[in-house]
Structure 1
Amino acid sequence: MEVMQKCCVLFKPDTESKEMSGDSLLEVQRAKRAANLRESLFQILSGLYGIMIVILGAVIPITEIFMSEEIDSTFEGFYIYLYSVSILFLVYVYAYLLRRNRLKTELLTRTLSRSLSSSRAWAKGLARPDTDTKSKFRKRMISLDVSNHHTGTFYLRLGVLGFGIGSMIHSGLNFGSFVSVSGGDCSEPVQWVKPLIHLMFTFFQLYFIFMNSKMCIHRYKKLARFGLVHMCSTNICVWFRSIVVETLHVIHHSDTRGHHGAESGHHPASDNSTHARSYPHSAVGHGISHHGSPGPEYVIHDEGMEKTLVDNMSHVHHISRKLLAASVNASGNISSASKDNCHWKNMMSQAVEEAGPYLYPCTIEYSLMCAGILYIMWTNVGKRPRRPTRSELETDSEDDGVEDEQRAQRMSVDCTSSSRGLFLGILLMVGTIISIIAFYMLVNQEEMQDSAIFLTHMSGTFIYTVTLLALLLAAARMKNLSFHNQQEANLEDILILISYTGLLVFIIFSLIASILAETSTMSTLTILSNVSMLLQATVQTIFMLAGDRMFAATEKQVRKKPGREFITFLLISNFAMWAINTFQTQTPQHNPIQVDFYGPEAWAIFTHISVPLGIYYRFHSTVCFSNIWKNAWKKRKHA
């Protein structure tokens, strides 16, 4: 009996301890659920904040056009707020999160180092972390997820670097232009402060993305989410602002030429009596002939309606002029009307005017790429990086875990497999440059403009046809490679589809204008070149999305590398097509059919939305082909 009592006494504390441990477990689970709820709530709130910023960034540039002329630079503070908060967040990241963390050095070494020993040591340490490393990892405020390819490859970040440099040059030219003003409305401090802050924001963001795009933040996640989504929204706002203001610039130049023509006597002057005032019906394509001569017109006989229309047109013209003069925009161009109130230095104004059309796409493309990368980083906040597999480490490294002698021999074989495509691509590039130079030489001569357009359409059709044939041959040669159909869509897939959409918009608008226009040699050439561009871009998009998921199945494919010469050729050919889109496609002289059909104003809107995306499509295609060239003929092991 005493033994039974002792057993009960001994058993009772154990039961109580189990009950206490069960209660503690419930408390832990309850606290964990509450923490997850808070995290989800703040993630939703940060997303809504980003949507609000994007909506404001879309509405404000359009609202500025219709503001009364007494209000000036009202919304400039919004953009200064966007840049300033982004810079402050980046300062916080570097001053606090990265202050005692060697992650940025680790990533730079991982990206740029060619040392085989350091790569092996790093991979070995990552594959078998000790207890101390694990404890330090738990305390770490940020971590590096090398297995995460969704933020883009090294080639994509090189593209961000290149376009970021172009955007900074653009902002610097704008800053110099506004500083050189010696009087007028454009000398207000906000006009030169804004480009300076934008330049600083571009530089800090460029460094942050290039060094830390694979970073996962684990401390102060709420602040990190709001900061990253703010930067992502800022880039989208800059992208939209650039399109709107550059479009206004082109429209305003067209209006200015018409205004000067009227002053020179090309249009009948009106008197004070009641008269019929004419408004050309060019916007829908039926009021202008094929060569731009006036067609049918609307005639307004009501004096009150005439006065209202004239006042409204004058108001919009004046406000768009002030917007162009006051805002730091993506084009950096200074319209002739703005020179009436501002005294620009000849050298700076000429530099901004001539470089603007080629630099503003850099801002658009840079903003698009940064927005995509920052969005992925926002989704990665709080995520613990999974341990990369051996095949992922080999794919991500610049070398493939072979000795220096073997690596040198392998590179020699690679160059041999690509030599024919390399030199054929160089030949195509040379021909493209000659075609572009000839176009600019001929298009400035009035009697040779038709020949210039004929040359550019024929050369474009030839390039699209040749590259389409190369794509089909590459697909035939690579059809026996293995295909990883479970690979998730990454950032580069999303960017290629977005940019393909812009290219598609340009092609469809061009085809509609060419088909509905009066039948002529020029319209036939326009149809031919755009159909060939459509076929080439569609097949290339499918090929790139599939090729990024291909890898060698046998050792023979690793040695022979079937189809690699075509990939080399396509890589260089897309540089050539990028040059065509940059220096030819966006010029009005290149698209007379479209300008006559839609009118200069509507066509300016279409091109400034679609052409920068088309330019980026060609650049990003080179990034995708670089990834295929590097990885498609390696053997992979997928977990």
Structure 2
Amino acid sequence: MAHLAQIKVPLMEPIQTSPKLTPNVSFAYQPGSRRHTGNSMDPEDQPAAPESNGSRRPSLFNALPRMSFSSHKKHLMEFLQRHGSKLSLNPKDESKAIPPAMMDMRNKNRAVAEDQFSTAISALYAKLLIVLGIAFPITDVVSESAPHHFYRGFYLYLYTLSFVFTIFLYVVQFRHNVKLNYILGQYSEPGGIIPETLRPKEPRLGSFYLRVGAIAFGIGNMVYSGLEFGQYFELKRDERCQNVLIALIPAARMALCIVQMQFLFFSSVSQRHMIRHKFISRFGLMHMLATNLCEWLYVIIEEAKHEIVHIAHEGIAHQHGAATAAMTDNGFSSGPISLNATIAHLSKRDVLTAPTLYGFECHRTNIMGSLVQNAAPFLFPCTIEYSLICAVILYEMWKKLREAGRGGNGSRRSSRKSLTGRSANMLSIDCSNAQRGMFGGILVIVLTIIVLIMYFVLQKEKYYQRVATIEVTISEIILYTITTFAVVWAMFQMRDLKFSQKKGDAGISLDCTLLVLAQIGIYIYCMFSIIGTFFSIGVSEHVTAYSLVAEIVSLIQTSVQTLFVMNAWWRRCKGAKQNRTKPGREIITFLLISNMSIWFINTLIKTNASFRPTLMKFYGIWAWTIITHISMPLAIFYRFHSTICLFEVWKNTYKVRYEHN
């Protein structure tokens, strides 16, 4: 108590005379009082700070015991408001207690959380659709209890919703263009021409040649769908055959193919419009991606089923001698379902196949059915490759939309460039230092055409079918060996070129992503072929070591070529000497044309499961047909897309550039 008496009187007087500390004012109940609220103390109600008479100002620590009740309350309320507390006793005044900066931070945090949630739920939605796209066709094939084509409504839902989403984006784009034209009209030149600098240009995903290839595959897809649509008019007027969905599904697929090609490869729908409707755009892009993948899976399963029925009806098993009994025994007799029972089951359920041997016949005529059967081996790879290209491009659009939602600078930088690392509006080609590679590639093309003609001629003769297969296999070995050495030599010649990957460029481009995905098909086909051929050597007299060597060399060649393309994609010439000599360009020209030759062989010959009767004997009709129809379309697309990637390397690596800061 002694030290309290030493406190100066001027500091004590405000505390003694303050009416705020009297029991009657601070603690007595008053009807008009604002006690128990966050606004009980106003700044003007606080006592004025006394002036210090001494030379030293008292420290904050020493002044804390002398602070009034109102000062304590003020500091407590400021602390709670600064840290965004929700402990206010008056919930109606919560918004007034939070500063604007805190409200902005809270809104941004909630926006980021909602953005991540919409991304996750859209991906989950696409995953669910893809799983249904796998389950429905497989159930229709393997189960006898399920109604025939019970899932057609699911595909109608996929096509319809994708079509509606695309139309929605076109409407948004049209409204934006109307407003933009009105605004730009105010700045137009006297002649009525709007300056090009005022019109924003959006880059398109993928290279020009990838878009051209996708359009070609899309045309094949529409032809395939049109033939399926024409089959509806050959069905009998019977309730067991007439189903409007048989005609509606191919028609919807054709309409979606046209709109989707316009949207992905011709339209200038900007990413800005999709960002404005981010939630709808995410679900729409994921829905279209799932639609393309489901269509891909549906075509694979349907074509595998058709080829199994075709093999059984045509008696291909009997044309290969000892393969007949082995296919029946190894493929089906060991299981619960025999070969004849399986073919009967598939024929009964497939009303659109050629005239069936079992069940009710729905066809009045078989003109369109025979056209589909003959053209399907060449058209269904177009559907698969078109769906793959569209799915990857849609995924890239969805990924860019997600990156734009994070507010990073990468999206702004990448929007000025295409994913190939070059300008989207300039095209110039220099054909120097490529003559010898071009003539070497032309020679390979000519020899490949001769091999194909010989194969189709010999295949018609029963006693020369084995010779025809060996001829194609030896040609593959020679072609794969030459191209493997060519790739290694090109890598050696291009080792000194500048590796130019800028900070804003993606780690792997869209074209390289497609190449890596398509390579999976070659790996699947080669590995199953190597395993089946290895264990069949010595068991059957029709098995030769040529098939084993061909698949091993093919596996090596595609691995080396993929690594070369992914490395050479970022190579650029530096200096006058490299710009003059262009090291490796002749070999790239040769590889480009050689991959076209391999593409012809895969498309015209190896798409049929019956090309390898030994593997059909080893795995069985079901297994080998499914393996072939899953892997070979990807292998065909790999060879096609390799020509695109090699041409991009051929054009961009050796182009003379002028650096602009």
Superposed pair shares fold, TM > 0.5: yes
- Specify whether residues 604 and 388 from structure 1 end up closer, same or farther in structure 2 by C-alpha distance, changes over 3 A only: closer
Note the 1:362-401 alignment, pairs <5 A: 362-381=382-401, 383=404, 385-387=411-413, 395-397=422-424, 399=426
* Contact 1:104–1:212 under 8 Å retained in 2: no
Match of 1:174 in 2: 228
How many angstroms apart in 2 are the aligned matches of 1:233 and 1:175?
A: 23
How many angstroms apart in 2 are the aligned matches of 1:550 and 1:209?
A: 28
Q: Given the alignment of the two structures, is residue 203 of structure 1 paired with residue 229 of structure 2, yes or no?
A: no
Deviations 1:420-458 (A, max 9, x none): 212221221121112112101101101111221121111
- Specify whether residues 549 and 63 from structure 1 end up closer, same or farther in structure 2 by C-alpha distance, changes over 3 A only: same
Note the 1:209-608 alignment, pairs <5 A: 209-212=264-267, 215-216=270-271, 217-257=274-314, 291-294=322-325, 317-325=343-351, 334=354, 336-337=356-357, 341-381=361-401, 383=404, 385-387=411-413, 395-397=422-424, 399=426, 411=429, 414-484=430-500, 487-519=506-538, 522-608=543-629
Aligned-partner SS, 1:381: helix
Higher relative contact order (CA 8 A, sep 6+): 1
Q: How many residues align?
A: 539
* Contact 1:324–1:335 under 8 Å retained in 2: no
Aligned-partner SS, 2:306: helix
Aligned-partner SS, 2:325: coil
Larger mean Cα displacement after TM superposition, 231-240 or 484-493: 484-493
Offset of residue 200 of structure 1: 0.7
Larger mean Cα displacement after TM superposition, 491-500 or 362-371: 491-500
How many angstroms apart in 2 are the aligned matches of 1:103 and 1:562?
A: 51
- Specify whether residues 215 and 547 from structure 1 end up closer, same or farther in structure 2 by C-alpha distance, changes over 3 A only: farther
Any stretches of 5+ residues in structure 1 without a counterpart?
9-15, 106-120, 134-142, 267-287, 300-305, 327-332, 401-406
How many angstroms apart in 2 are the aligned matches of 1:338 and 1:31?
A: 66
Q: Given the alignment of the two structures, is residue 157 of structure 1 paired with residue 221 of structure 2, yes or no?
A: no
Q: Given the alignment of the two structures, is residue 90 of structure 1 paired with residue 166 of structure 2, yes or no?
A: yes
* Contact 1:290–1:596 under 8 Å retained in 2: no
How many angstroms apart in 2 are the aligned matches of 1:473 and 1:309?
A: 54
Any stretches of 5+ residues in structure 2 without a counterpart?
1-43, 49-77, 83-95, 182-194
* Contact 1:325–1:338 under 8 Å retained in 2: no
Aligned-partner SS, 2:529: helix
Larger mean Cα displacement after TM superposition, 165-174 or 565-574: 565-574
- Specify whether residues 557 and 597 from structure 1 end up closer, same or farther in structure 2 by C-alpha distance, changes over 3 A only: same
Corresponding letter in the other structure for 2:395: Y
* Contact 1:474–1:563 under 8 Å retained in 2: yes
Offset of residue 321 of structure 1: 2.7
Offset of residue 513 of structure 1: 1.8
Match of 1:31 in 2: 107
* Identity over aligned pairs, percent: 32
Taking structure 1 as the reference length, what is the TM-score of the superposition? 0.76
- Specify whether residues 558 and 354 from structure 1 end up closer, same or farther in structure 2 by C-alpha distance, changes over 3 A only: same
- Specify whether residues 335 and 554 from structure 1 end up closer, same or farther in structure 2 by C-alpha distance, changes over 3 A only: farther
* Contact 1:290–1:518 under 8 Å retained in 2: no
How many angstroms apart in 2 are the aligned matches of 1:583 and 1:62?
A: 27
Corresponding letter in the other structure for 1:176: G
Corresponding letter in the other structure for 1:508: M
Match of 2:72 in 1: none
Aligned-partner SS, 1:489: coil
Aligned-partner SS, 2:176: coil
* Contact 2:327–2:620 under 8 Å retained in 1: no
- Specify whether residues 67 and 291 from structure 1 end up closer, same or farther in structure 2 by C-alpha distance, changes over 3 A only: closer
- Who wins on radius of gyration, i.e. which is larger? 2
- Specify whether residues 394 and 442 from structure 1 end up closer, same or farther in structure 2 by C-alpha distance, changes over 3 A only: closer
Q: Given the alignment of the two structures, is residue 44 of structure 1 paired with residue 99 of structure 2, yes or no?
A: no
Corresponding letter in the other structure for 1:253: H
Corresponding letter in the other structure for 1:481: L
Offset of residue 211 of structure 1: 2.2
- Specify whether residues 200 and 418 from structure 1 end up closer, same or farther in structure 2 by C-alpha distance, changes over 3 A only: same
Offset of residue 574 of structure 1: 0.8
Offset of residue 144 of structure 1: 6.0
Corresponding letter in the other structure for 2:533: S
Match of 2:67 in 1: none
How many angstroms apart in 1 are the aligned matches of 2:535 and 2:202?
A: 53
- Specify whether residues 338 and 369 from structure 1 end up closer, same or farther in structure 2 by C-alpha distance, changes over 3 A only: farther
How many angstroms apart in 1 are the aligned matches of 2:436 and 2:292?
A: 41
- Specify whether residues 213 and 45 from structure 1 end up closer, same or farther in structure 2 by C-alpha distance, changes over 3 A only: farther
How many angstroms apart in 2 are the aligned matches of 1:66 and 1:535?
A: 37
- Specify whether residues 457 and 153 from structure 1 end up closer, same or farther in structure 2 by C-alpha distance, changes over 3 A only: same
* Contact 2:572–2:652 under 8 Å retained in 1: yes
Q: Given the alignment of the two structures, is residue 189 of structure 1 paired with residue 244 of structure 2, yes or no?
A: yes
Deviations 1:209-251 (A, max 9, x none): 1024884122111111111100000111111111111111122
> Aligned-pair RMSD on alpha carbons?
3.6
